[in-house]
Chains A and B, each alone.
Chain A
Amino acid sequence: MKYINEYRQKHLVETLLTNIKAEATGDYHFMEVCGSHTHAIRRFGLPSLLPENIRLLSGPGCPVCVTDQNYINRAVELALNNDTIIATYGDLLHVPGNDKSLNDCREEDADVRVVYSSLDALAIASQNPEKSVVFLAIGFETTAPATAIAIQKADSQNINNLFFLSAHKIMPPAMKAVIDDGVTLNGYICPGHVSTITGKSIYEDFPEKYKVATVISGFEPTDILQSILMLIRQVNSGDFKTEIQYKRAVKPEGNVRAQQVMDEVFEIKVDRWRGFGTIPASGLKLNNRYSEYDADKKFSIPIPEPEEDNGCICGEILKGRKEPEECRLFATVCTPRNPKGACMVSAEGSCNAHFKYRNYG
């Protein structure tokens, strides 16, 4: 398959590994902050190939995993009690709320539909004018523009039965929170898809203020290994900067049109992140111009109390402080089939990726 297989060639991987091993003279802690990176790293077995002095940590990059439990509770409440159709990305279906997941709601005859795009939700709304349709708008800068487009289309097409429950988040505040929390990091493997939208400027604090190496990476094994090599070189030389490895997709200025659409529709808000608590200026909500599409405003959703502590250490895992294997629930009571925490639910979650693609040898 073109544009994929080229980046999975064994001899290129071997060359990169040789260079990494030759140049990695110290100990390195690199964190990836995109669920798709976590997934690729495990899927291709990269940890079994890298030397022990390079440690890869999985950060708060899986949109499902960082979504606050109260958000799930509110979605469940909407699904069960408001004669709505819930349109959601598939990953969110099995995330446990206090009492139940959205999938459990389906069993109680709630109309919860999996969509692949925010525009699918728009189609559902126009086909069901008698119903209120709520799109569960989650994700980082990657998916936020698509939500913004759907909102603008709903507006221009006079669709007034589609609402958005926004848990959209932006990446850099959480990346800062990880460092501010005292996690030792030498470099960030920055999310490629987020960066296609934002460009590189959102990361400039990391090399300048935090002295952390910063490379925007693609998702194939040679991309990730090349990014690791670039990070090692930045650390070794002390010349910290934001570099783009994923040049075939990311422009330094990003996707300006997508940024515009986001600006037109959203404003920044304080937001809650699972495992982190509240992070200032880290979330996106619909601005006044589009507030009639805001599900939070349309429905008054009673917010139940936060959950009891069930022993899940997703928070520590999302900060890169602990590995999934260090959680006493991991692979015993918490499995992809019966997840206790969000990191086990999404295919991009660390626990799920560790569970599915356990290292061997």
Chain B
Amino acid sequence: MANKIEIGHGSGGLMTQELIQELFMKYFDNQWLKAEGDSAIVDSTHQKIAFTTDSYVINPLFFPGGDLGKLAVCGTVNDLAVTGARPSYLTAGFIIEEGLSLETLENIVKSMKAEADKAGVHIVAGDTKVVEKGQADRLFINTSGMGFVDELHKNLANGKLITEGDRVWVNGTLGDHEAAIMNAREAYFENSRLESDCASLNGLIRELLDRCNTIRFIRDITRGGLAGILHEVAGMSSLGFEINEDKIPISEGVQAFCESLGYEPLHMACEGKCIVIADESEAERVASIMKNHEFGKNAAQIGQITKEHPGDVVLDTMIGGRRLLEPPRAAKVPRIC
């Protein structure tokens, strides 16, 4: 096979077949793909189906802690998992810029396969398009995902279960993904250990749902950071949040990055973090499940739900002051001094 992607790889002809067989089939290898139908026919259950899609465009394609392929799997897996679903099947659409090296594509595909195996999902259908040079930035991936939702958890996603007095947790340090990406792009700090937290959280979330009875809400913390998510949830539940700034876990590297450039860590995106809202009575159990899980070692209870100020997120600052926590509003730019 050629060592670069050419327009012919998207023509539907022999070159396309070659790419599918020698790359996608080779790595994703499973019974559904092998059937080579225009659609994958998958087994169903009597449960409700969660169905989602997301497109992944990121520069650089490879960054500390992950790459586009890993992100395209765990992002969609997390979107399914937080709604209470067991993620089962993914599809993958590739939009490739002419000239991308095959080695790059292969490394991304390998990484998708590794993450899919880790998360226990199968990539059962796919599509490849090649666009002319300049019409896309190297590689864009869309993944759609399907999972099954227990009757018990069908209302987890709508926020209606949240009640006054519920406690709020995060499963670890915030802002790692965005800080790592920005640093990889701009090389602000050469020797930083900033690393994306990119991870599939379905294992952790499944443990929480299986072993606790009062999980009221889970949402992954992505663009907009913690502040963005809390505002969304406050809006949809007509309740307010009381958040303790000094309980919010932030790594030293992310703190240093944000302090140096004037960014608000609570506005920074994560790719392997979620908020969990549960009844106070299960506080210890929630904390111990998280802390014993690979992706919850730095979990912390950061606040609670209140009726006092519906729609508002109030922050008790680390020095004992009190203010509103605003959602992020515009693109981030470094401050002048």
Pick the residue among A90, A335, A360 that contacts B323 (CB under 8 A): A360
B interface residues, how many (CB within 8 angstroms): 29
Given contacts A91-B333, A138-B336, A139-B336, contact A359 B322 (CB under 8 A): yes
CB-defined interface of B293-337 with A at 8 Å, one 1/0 digit per residue? 000000000000000010010110111111110100110011111
CB of B200 to closest CB in A, whole Å: 30
A218 on the interface (CB 8 Å rule)?
no
CA distance A225 to B255 in the complex (A): 22
Main SS class of interface, B? loop
A interface residues, how many (CB within 8 angstroms): 45
CA distance A347 to B259 in the complex (A): 13
CB-defined interface of A329-361 with B at 8 Å, one 1/0 digit per residue? 000000111000000001110000001111111
- Between B259, B317, B337, the greatest number of chain A beta carbons within 10 A of the residue's beta carbon is seen for B337
A221 on the interface (CB 8 Å rule)?
yes
CA distance A357 to B317 in the complex (A): 11
Residue in A closest to B317 when the chains form the complex, CB atoms: A45
The answer to whether B322 touches A93, judged by C-beta atoms less than 8 angstroms apart, is no
Given contacts A4-B259, A336-B329, A361-B314, contact A10 B320 (CB under 8 A): yes
Residue in B closest to A191 when the chains form the complex, CB atoms: B337
The answer to whether B329 touches A93, judged by C-beta atoms less than 8 angstroms apart, is no
CA distance A360 to B246 in the complex (A): 17
- In the assembled complex, which residues on chain A have CB atoms less than 8 Å from the CB atom of B323? 42-43, 45, 48, 357-360
- In the assembled complex, which residues on chain B have CB atoms less than 8 Å from the CB atom of A10? 246, 318-320
The answer to whether A13 touches B319, judged by C-beta atoms less than 8 angstroms apart, is yes
The answer to whether B329 touches A89, judged by C-beta atoms less than 8 angstroms apart, is no
- In the assembled complex, which residues on chain B have CB atoms less than 8 Å from the CB atom of A8? 318-319
8 A Cβ contacts from B252-309 to A: 252, 255-256, 259, 261-262, 309
A142 on the interface (CB 8 Å rule)?
yes
Other A-B pairs beyond A91-B336, A335-B329, A337-B330, 5, CB < 8 Å: A43-B323, A45-B320, A48-B321, A90-B335, A360-B323
Q: List the 10 closest A-B pairs by CB distance, nearest first.
A: A45-B321, A90-B333, A45-B323, A89-B336, A45-B317, A13-B319, A358-B324, A356-B326, A336-B329, A1-B255
**Can you report 13 A-B residue pairs in the complex whose CB atoms are below 8 A from each other?**
A1-B256, A4-B259, A9-B319, A45-B322, A47-B321, A89-B335, A89-B336, A116-B188, A139-B337, A142-B337, A348-B335, A360-B315, A360-B322
